[in-house]
Amino acid sequence: MSARPSPPEVIRGRITRVSGPVVLAEGLGGAGLFDVAEVGEARLAGEIIRVDGGGATIQVYEENTGMRPGESVLSLGKPLSLSLGPGLIGTIYDGIQRPLERLKESSGSFIRAGVRGERLPLDRMWAFAPALGPGDEIGPGTLVGRVRETELVEHRVIAPPGTVPCKVSRSVPAGEYTLRDTVLETEAGESLTLAQEWPARRARPSRKRLPPNEPLMTGLRVIDLLFPLSKGGCAAIPGGFGTGKTMAQHAIAKFCDADIIVYVGCGERGNEMTDVLTEFPKLVDPRTGRSIMERTILIANTSNMPVAAREVSIYTGITLAEYYRDMGYDVAVMADSTSRWAEALRELSGRLEEMPAEEGFPAYLPTRLAEFYERGGRVETLGGRSGSISIIGAVSPPGGDFSEPVTQHTKRFIRCFWALDRDLANARHYPAISWIDSYSEYAEELREWWDRKDPAWKDLRAQALDLMKREQRLEQIVRLIGPDALPDEQRLILVTAEMVKNGFLQQSSFDDVDKYCVPEKQILILHTIMEFHRRAEEAIKAGVPLTEIVAMPARERLSRLKSEVANDRIEEIRAAEREMAAAFDGLARVYSREEAT
């Protein structure tokens, strides 16, 4: 929803040099940096990335094979902007917000050069309920009305950030309108519609930052309980090929409690994006029973698409997320993967003959990463609402080497690190998130939220992480001398750690019960396993052999609780804990009598 801008000045030039997706042109002396350009006879979409006197350097977002010097170039005098309004949800776009499904109808399976498509359904009628009338105050972020975009999403039509504070002079009654129709006029002379535009590379403003003190629940126990992410937080999932980055992001996108999902497939293989595009429309939101596409926007920019469009796809995704954040929604952005985006930067930088930094990446790679991740966060919007953007970026280090530049620079700007382990992935342990190399700096800020669930959360989390670190140290000894040489106290650590791995950390995405775990069930499972460890330590000190403890049927059941007990029947976990306590009491009585005799 925006005022109708005056037509920008169009400047005409001609191509002097073509270097892959980078084109040099002359005659564009009056053009501005990052202005949109139409390049060549096919009028391919591009963006001016360097201005030098009367010349300009343009990166082209479409396949430009066959382009020649001498062809015309048009600078449109405006930055690369996105169309924002009802109709975004459920749509599949490419990196420059071309609607792929609508392009297929006009272009076939392969996108023709220079083809365009309506980013939003301009002629569709939307049921609009106004929130303002003549004489009401309006300013940046003011709620103007509501549109039911999908069954899951109410589109809150808000005044754009540049709106002049004043009073409404005219508004339309409730009814059906297209995105072209004026629904409100102000005393400052602005005419507002249901849609607006915003430059992709410029962050949408907010009133102030808010503390990230509420978790983004994913249903994955290793994340939610051990390495939690806040709403408005930033996380990275690094891992080598085949360790499950994309699968982990898919699971988070399916089950996290964000209101809106923006999934950006940036430079990934076509078959992976095909899985996303075919699978997501069939998925059912576990909280509402509706299709997950009713709260999802997909951006598909695969590895065989033009590299320049891959570079801008990240900004397209985050701008769409900011738009819904400004409505007061919690948005989760999945960027898969930022390594492919960084490789696009490296290729474009090489075409521009810039001085390379480490491993050939441009010197401004850290700056670009920082600019992207800082657009996440939990904020108070211009309209006084609370909204958040959580960014989860996959990183694909070559050979699984976490010391490479993209991973190292990413760690500087995120506070949650979910490191994927190849050994766990090869052992079919899902999710393959290493409990040794991962960390979360949001845990302390989320303590108050978790304390309302269970005050023992902090201690349970610390005990579990400490146990797994002790188990790692003992494994090194076991490889040398075997487990039988260890005393029962240390062998118990190995037994309990195995229970934590199999009964808590590992989940099955194919199990209807285990694929998603509510917070209350997570805490009870871990509490029961750690209570087993405490009772076992006491029993061993009282003279009970470890073999008797391991043989208890109650112990075996603890590892099956995750898949045997549904989310709405967690009282059964407490019953299993009581059964375990009774078994330990029985062992204690037996061995106390033997000791007495």
Residues 13, 25 contacting (CB under 8 angstroms): yes
What's the count of helices (H) and strands (E) in the chain, helices before strands? Answer: 17, 26
Please say whether the structural domain 208-436 has been given the CATH code 1.10.3720.10: no
**pLDDT < 70 regions, the chain:** 1-7, 593-597
Give the orientation angle of helix 365-373 with respect to helix 405-413, to 10 degrees: 40
Residue 200: Cβ within 10 Å count: 23
Q: Where in the chain is the domain with CATH 3.40.50.300?
A: 208-436
Rounded distance, CA 47 to CA 33, Å?
8
pLDDT at residue 104, rounded to an integer: 82
Q: What is the pLDDT of residue 395?
A: 94
368: Cβ contacts below 8 Å, ≥ 6 apart = 345
What is residue 2's predicted lDDT score, i.e. its pLDDT?
Answer: 46
Contacts of 128 (CB under 8 A, 6+ apart): 145, 146, 147, 157, 172, 174, 175, 176, 177, 183, 194
> Pairing state of beta strands 22-26 and 55-60?
antiparallel
457-596 topology per CATH = 1.10.1140
- Report the C-alpha gap between 438 and 299 in whole angstroms: 28
DSSP, collapsed to helix, strand or coil, labels residue 487 as coil
The per-residue pLDDT for 297 is 95
Give how far the C-alpha of residue 340 lies from the chain's centroid of Cα atoms, to the nearest Å.
Answer: 16
Cα(226)–Cα(522) distance, rounded to whole angstroms?
10
User: So what's the pLDDT on residue 3?
Assistant: 44
> pTM of the full predicted structure?
0.93
pLDDT at residue number 6: 53
Token pair for residue 212?
Answer: 């990230």
- HSE at residue 435, side-chain half, CA atoms within 13 A, is 28
**126-194 CATH pick, 2.40.50.100, 3.30.70.20, 3.40.50.150, 3.30.420.40:** 2.40.50.100
Per the CB < 8 A criterion, the answer to whether 159 and 141 are in contact is: yes
Domain with CATH 1.10.1140.10 in the chain: 457-596
**11-107 — its CATH code?**
2.40.30.20
